[in-house]
Amino acid sequence: MKMAQIIDGKLISKKVKEDVAKEVASYKEKGINPTLAVVIVGDNPASRVYVNSKKKDCEECGMGSLEYAMPEDTTEEELLALVNELNNRDDVNGILVQLPLPKHINEDSIINAISPEKDVDAFHPQNVGRIMLGGAKFLPCTPAGVMELLDAYGIDPQGKDCVVIGRSNIVGKPMALLLLARNATVTVCHSKTQNLAEKVRNADIVVAAVGRANFVTADMVKEGAVVIDVGINRLENGKLCGDVEFEGVSKKASFITPVPGGVGPMTRAVLMKNTLATIK
């Protein structure tokens, strides 16, 4: 039986990080030590895993990393003071505040306080605006990672019908904008979309960012479609899976990303690229 080609996010992310490492090395020769500051508040286990992996990525790229682990009861004022301090430090290039924050802290206030020049997540309204208008210095890590995967496999979105499922500010919406910027015709689906399956069935490229295991099934996918699975869901047995029912869909798609090993590693690699972009 014909099977989709697996888009290997691990392999491509490794290449991206190797390129970053080369650039970091040349900056270091000039006495510049690119450094990412990561702030984590509280002890959310998932956030801890993400922060550890970002530290590891920095090490792999030869980049400096500073971690600020603050207690759960940190006040908004204390966090704002830290962000301000990091904004003003010349030895800190990128700043990333790991989300979600504890409920008593307003995430928007914190995101707005990060200097747009150091905002490696590209969440600051000024950077979001630049993504919309074109010419952004930083691209949001996950959607940009998806674009890098498409490019790496010679998949050109121009003129293609693309369906993005999900409209979050960090994945779905910017994903749609990046595809549009590359001349795709983009449909964005969400929880109020009617006839979603029908829309997905018309797509040449499907990007699933829903957060529901096995949401996209084989009957919803056109023969030969490219299927990008952004979802990360943990099943009751502890296994990770995406939003796409991989077994069935991989028999119909031309290309498919696995979970894990697809979009996830690319998100991390783009963060490294963004940290470098702060000094360009």
Q: Which residues bind ligand NAP (CB under 6 A)?
A: 142, 165-168, 170-172, 189-193, 196, 209-212, 230-233, 263-264, 267
* Shorter beta-carbon distance to ligand NAP: residue 58 or 86: 58
Is 194 one of the annotated active-site residues of the chain? no
Is 54 one of the annotated active-site residues of the chain? yes
> Hunting for tokens 């020049």 — which residue is that?
117
* Shorter beta-carbon distance to ligand NAP: residue 185 or 214: 214
Catalytic: which of 17, 54, 118, 173?
54
What one-character-per-residue DSSP string does 165-200 give? E---TTTHHHHHHHHHHTT-EEEEE-TT-SSHHHHH
- In the complex, the smallest distance separating the C-beta of residue 145 from ligand NAP, rounded to whole angstroms, is 7
Catalytic: which of 121, 204, 229, 243?
121
Residue with the shortest CB distance to ligand NAP: 168
* Shorter beta-carbon distance to ligand NAP: residue 9 or 116: 9
CB contact burial 188-212 (16+ within 10 A = b; e otherwise): bbeeebeebeebbbebbbbbbbbee
Is 137 one of the annotated active-site residues of the chain? no
Contacts for 34 with CB less than 8 Å, ≥ 6 apart? 24, 27, 63, 64, 93, 94, 275, 276, 278, 279
* Shorter beta-carbon distance to ligand NAP: residue 49 or 81: 49
Q: Which residues are catalytic?
A: 54, 98, 121
